[in-house]
Amino acid sequence: MRIIGGMPAPERKWPWQVSLRINNEHMCGGSLIAPQWILTAAHCIFGFEEYTVRMGSVLLHPQSGMAIPVQDIVCHSFYDVRTLSNDIALVLLAHSVNYSAFIQPVCLPEKNFEAEAGTRCWVTGWGRQMADAIVLPENLQETDQILLRHTLCNAKLQTELGYRRMLVRKGMICGYHEDLKSPCKGDSGGPLVCEFNDTWVQVGIVSWGVACGRSELPIVYTEVSSYKDWIMDHIIKVSSCASAGFFILSLSLVLPLGILVTL
């Protein structure tokens, strides 16, 4: 997805934002959560492609910043391409990054933390600015989103799609903006962050939506707090293996080719 109706983000405001790339082409967003780890969406991962991660600049094609090869990717083993349940992935960088004014990690919420409906949060990305646009914006875009109750979000999406089945499942949260501002294609995997007690916390990962820039329809995000244990378990496991002089990731957690990118 790309931010429709957003504004250019100033340098250093969102220093955890990264661009996940194949052949230096922007595919999805992501967020830096540790010196060697990126959080993104599982639907952004296309089998065994070689990825790089770009960070340290608000520009899509900067002369500064850094591009780091990806060593490994782990996707949630219960990711469902049909429902987009468990749409979460961890990207292990080939080496750790040094923090600076331009590169900082975002904080993660506590396990099962629930941000209240009505909370004003922010989403960022280099996705399309119009639903039918081809060219992506050069400058990182930002816009606010208001968190929406599960029941209301599900009802709105069910009405639009004519479905009776549950669309907004456990592990998902919703956000919307009344003035046609939303993520769009190219923003997938990027962070939804809220400020609590002067600290920015990532509550969501851009996952899916019915259409870009429609004020009556919410955008659905992966709820980060629901996966706090999953995130920490994998980071700790890999760190332990690395300290022992070897590295193992289960191939069963690597997604096959042909995954549909919703946003």
CA 18 – CA 27 distance, rounded (Å): 11
Judged by DSSP in three states, 42 sits in helix
CA 148 – CA 128 distance, rounded (Å): 23
Which is the catalytic residue, given 19, 57, 182, 188? 188
> Which residues make beta-bridge pairs with 176?
146
Q: Which two tokens stand for residue 155?
A: 């009802």
Cβ–Cβ < 8 Å for 7, 177: no
> Which residues make beta-bridge pairs with 20?
28, 53
Which is the catalytic residue, given 19, 31, 43, 177? 43
Angle at 26 between CA 98 and CA 13, to 5 degrees: 50
CA 178 – CA 199 distance, rounded (Å): 25
Q: Which two tokens stand for residue 229?
A: 């244990």
43 catalytic per annotation: yes
Q: Which amino acid is at 217?
A: L
Q: Based on the number of CB atoms within 10 Å of its own CB, is 123 exposed (0-12), middle (13-18) or buried (19 or more)?
A: buried
Q: Which two tokens stand for residue 62?
A: 């900067």
CA 192 – CA 222 distance, rounded (Å): 9
87 catalytic per annotation: yes
177 catalytic per annotation: no
Cβ–Cβ < 8 Å for 84, 221: no
Catalytic residues: 43, 87, 188
